[in-house]
Structure 1
C-alpha cells in the first residue's frame, strides 16, 4: 500500500480548529497506522478549561483525515484511545482498502470562515438556507430582521460578559495576530486578514481589548459600541443554531461540525462561528428555549451565514507546517 502520509496530514489539517489553535498531532506508528494525539499545551485554559473545544478540533481533524483517505480509495479501522500527558493519544487509524470517495472532500480545499459583513441577502441566498436546513436537521436557522436584531443584541451582551474578565481578554489577545509582523501571523491563531480587519481596525482592536483601555472604555459605555458585531450579524442571510445530542462526545460533535460547515459551503454560502453564544450557559439555554429546541440537545455554537461580497479575496490559510504536526514514534 503506497500512501503519501504527509499529504494525508496536510489534508487533515485543513479542518476547522477552534480559534485556529491546531492542537492535533499525528504519529506514524508504521506505514499503515496513524495515531492522533492532542497537544495539551495548546489549550485555552481560561476560555476552555475542560478542553472541550480541543476535542471538537480533534474530531474535525479526524473527519478530515477520513475524507482524505476516502478520496484515495482507502478507509480506516479505528480504535479509540485514552491517553494522558502532554501529548494525549486520542484515536488510532489503521489504513485499509475499500474507501468510497466523499463529495465533501473537494470542498475542504477552499472552506474558510468569513468574518466580515456579508453581501446583501437575496432570494438565492434564502433558497440556499432552505437547502441547508433540509440537509442538516441539527441546524436551526433563524431569518428575518427582527430575529437577527435580537440575536445580535444577545451576542453583543454575551461578548461583553466574557470580555470583562481580564484573564479572558489576555488569552484572546494571545491568539490574535493583529499585525503582519507578528511572528505567527501565517501559522496559527486569528490574524487580521482572516478577521477582515483593516490595519487601522486591527490596531484599534489591540488597544480596545488591552488591559488598561478596556476597563476605562467600559466604565464610560464606549467598549461595547467599539467591539459590537451587531451590524455583521444583521448583514447575514440567517443565523444557524448548531445543536447536537447532550450525551454526544465532543470528539463526535467535532466530526459533525466539520461536515455541517462543508454543507454550508456546498450551498454556495459562507459562515462565521459565534461561539460565545454557546460558551455562556445561561445564554445557550435561553436560545434553545426560545427556538423550541429540546432539552435533550446542547447548543454547540451558532453561525451567521451569508454570501461573501463580490471581489473578496480569501487570504491564505494560517496553518502550522506539516513537519511540526508530526510526532516521531518512540
Structure 2
C-alpha cells in the first residue's frame, strides 16, 4: 500500500471536514507522522470556553471528523486502525493542539454506504416541510431498531420538547459571556472575512440582512438584558413555532463514560442515517447541556440504563438544500 502524501491528505481532510461541529467551529486538524499515520488533533483556538468548558463538544466534533476521515479513506479502499487519544489529553505534541486520534493504514476496505450522504447532510434552522407518512414510518422504524436513538413523535411530544428547548435556551442566553462567545461565531454580514468558511452565517441561520443586524445588535449588547427584564427575552430566543413543524425529535444517546471521540463518530453516522430518509436535522444541544432540562426531558423519555444524552435533533424535510460553509483544505492540514 502506497503512503499517503500531503496532497492526498489535504483532499481527504476536506472530505472529512464535511462532518458537523459545534457552532461550525471545525476544530479538527490533520497531519502525517513519521510513519505515515494520520494524526487528528483539536485546534484549541476554536474551543468554546464558555459554552463547552469541559471540551466535550470539541471532542464530539473531532470524533465526527474522524468518522468522516475513515469513510474518505474507505472510499479509496484503505482500511485503518483507530487509536482514540482524547482521554490522554496530550497537548505537548504541538503547542495549541490536543491530540484526538491516530489512524494507521491496515489493509483494504470497502466504501461505506453512508458516505453517499455526506454532501446531502446539513442543518436546517427554518420551518420544515411536511413529511410523507411513508418516510416518517421508515424513520421511526429505523430509530426504534437502533440502540442509541429514542424516537419522540406526535404533537404532544413535540410541544413538550419545544417548550423545554425554549426555556433552556433562554436560561443560557441570559449569560452575557455565552452570548458574547456565540456572537463571535456568527457571521451577520456577507462582508465578514469568514462568512463563507466557518461559524454560523445568515444563510445557515435563515436570516435576512436586516434581521441579522438587529439580532447582532441585541445579543452583543446590554439590550438583551433590558429586553429580558421587559419580558421579551423569551420572544427573542423562541423556536417553538419552527420546532412544531418537525416530523419528530430524535434523542441521541450513548453509553456513559464513552470517549467523546467515539460518541462523535457515532453521532455523524446517526445524522447520515436519518439523511437517507430525506430528513434534515436541527440540534437542540441545550437539552443535553442544561442539567435541569435534561432531567425533565428524560423523565418523559427515559434512556436505556447506562446511557447518557448526547444531543436532540428535530428532524423533517427541508424545502431547500443549503450549501456547506467550510474551511479550505489548506487550513485543515498541519505541516
TM interval, shorter chain, is over 0.9
- 2: distance between equivalents of 1:128 and 1:294? 22
Residue 49 of structure 1 corresponds to 53
SS in 1 for 2:193: coil
Which sits farther off after the overlay, 148-157 or 201-210?
201-210
**1:68-107 map, 5 Å:** 68-81=72-85, 82=88, 83-84=90-91, 85-107=95-117
1:175-225, Cα deviation, whole Å (9 max, x unpaired): 111111111111111111011122232223213323221011101111211
Match of residue 302, structure 1, among 296, 312, 331: 312
Task: Give the conservation status (yes or no) of the 8 Å contact 1:208–1:223.
Answer: no
Please state whether the residue corresponding to 1:14 is helix, strand or coil: coil
- Residue 32 of structure 1 and its aligned partner are, at CA, apart by 3.3
Q: CA deviation at 1:252?
A: 0.6
Pair 1:321-2:290 in alignment:
no
- TM-superposition CA deviations, 1:69-90 (whole Å, max 9, x none): 1111111133343321511222
The one of 174, 177, 195 equivalent to 1:164 is 174
Structure-2 separation of matches of 1:225 and 1:132: 35
TM-score between the two structures when normalised by the length of structure 1 = 0.94
Which residue does the alignment assign to 2:227?
217
CA shift digits 1:5-60 (9 cap, x unpaired)? 22111111111111111111111225832111111121110010111000001111
What is the match of residue 214 of structure 2?
204
Number of residue-to-residue matches in the alignment: 325
1:248 matched to 2:245? The reply is no
The DSSP-based 3-state class of the residue aligned with 1:242 is strand
Cα gap change, 1:169 to 1:89, in 2 (>3 Å): same
**For structure 2, which runs of at least 5 residues remain unmatched after alignment?**
none
Residue in structure 1 matched with residue 161 of structure 2 by the alignment:
151
Displacement of 1:2 after TM fit?
6.1
**Cα deviation, residue 115, structure 1:** 1.0
> Is residue 24 of structure 2 the alignment partner of residue 20 of structure 1?
yes
**Residue in structure 1 matched with residue 70 of structure 2 by the alignment:** 66
- Of 201-210 and 223-232, more deviation after overlay is shown by 201-210
Partner residue of 1:117 out of 127, 134, 156: 127
Unaligned runs of 5+ in 1: none
Residue 194 of structure 2 aligns with which residue?
184
**1:234 match:** 244
Of the structure 1 ranges 80-89 and 300-309, higher mean CA displacement relative to structure 2 is found in 80-89
Post-superposition offset of 1:295: 4.7
Q: What CA distance in whole angstroms lies between the structure 1 residues aligned with 2:229 and 2:167?
A: 15
After superposition, the CA RMSD in angstroms is 1.6
Aligned partners of 1:125 and 1:237 also within 8 Å: no
Deviating runs (4+, > 4 A) in structure 1?
none
Distance 2:182 2:316 in 1: 25
1:96 CA drift (Å)? 3.1
